[in-house]
Amino acid sequence: MADLPNFHDRDGWIWLDGALVPWREAGVHVLTHALHYASSVFEGQRAYGGEVFKLNEHSRRLRRSAELLGFEIPWSVEQIDEACREVLRANGLENAYMRPLAWRGSEQMGVSAQHTKIHLAIAAWEWGAYFGDEAARKGINLDISAWRRPAPYTAPTASKAAGLYMICTLARHAAQDKGLDDALMFDWRGQVAEATGANAFFVRDGKIHTPTPDCFLDGITRRTVIDLARRRGIEVVERAIWPEELESFEQFFLTGSAAELTPVASAGPWNFEVGDLSLQLRKDYIDLVNRRIPNA
């Protein structure tokens, strides 16, 4: 992934608490509760041709994530949708990555946060292929993370909550220190879970297998790709997958709003081919988001 300029020092506009503000002025106080206690939720979504793919679904998940963290975003799903469109228009963006973020403010310090104000910001910027332009052709290489996705009774794992990504950052840094692209994470039981920011799919004998998302996000892109595969008559099985099975899979790919659909060439000691099925589904996904095939 190419280095990007500083995110704080740019021209443009960010939607903040109901109004567009100049990019450089979209700040928060150092005593913001979310900065100290991770009381924030977010979305990652992409716009293609000036429209955010599955925007309403992302906005609904944002509000649901906040509810799971015990707060309500004071803007409706419809208002969030329109604010996202306003950000694209204001910045003159057609193809972009977008980050809505909701968080607890600085009115209360300490673990308790019932009296904090809830804020919402939405930013968007041009962002190409998450893993680089060669990833789809060659596949990416993954580490096996020492960190594991937590059990759903230890954290709100159905929420796209900022705090849940702390171990993802640690896992990805460890992988990049080894010259790898990302990391595959197991869950607290030792089952295969996901990469640091994308869901995992495996191919064997023309059938797709994917871990059951019972302790990590059932991604919007994940569900979209499952629909695309089933449209083609490909059987998709959602189930527990154990690491010892990985050597039996022929292909492996990741899905996510940032990653889109990215083939994997290796994960730890296991190697995979960048096969026709993975590449066909990648093409189907790119065609769908660019509205070249009917919506799934």
Point out the residues that are catalytic.
Answer: 160
Q: Where are the strands (E) in 65-206, listed by range?
A: 96-104, 118-125, 140-149, 182-187, 192-195, 199-204
H helices of the chain, in order, are: 33-37, 55-68, 77-91, 135-138, 166-177, 220-231, 276-289
- Give the chain's end-to-end CA distance (angstroms, integer): 29
CA distance 263 to 134: 10
Neighbour-count burial of 270, counting CB atoms closer than 10 A to its CB (0-12 exposed, 13-18 middle, 19+ buried): middle
Structure tokens at 257: 């709003």
CA distance 236 to 56: 25
Q: For residue 14, how far is the Cα from the chain centroid?
A: 20
Q: How distant, in Å, are the alpha carbons of 33, 130, 256, 258, 295 from that of 199?
A: 30, 14, 7, 11, 21
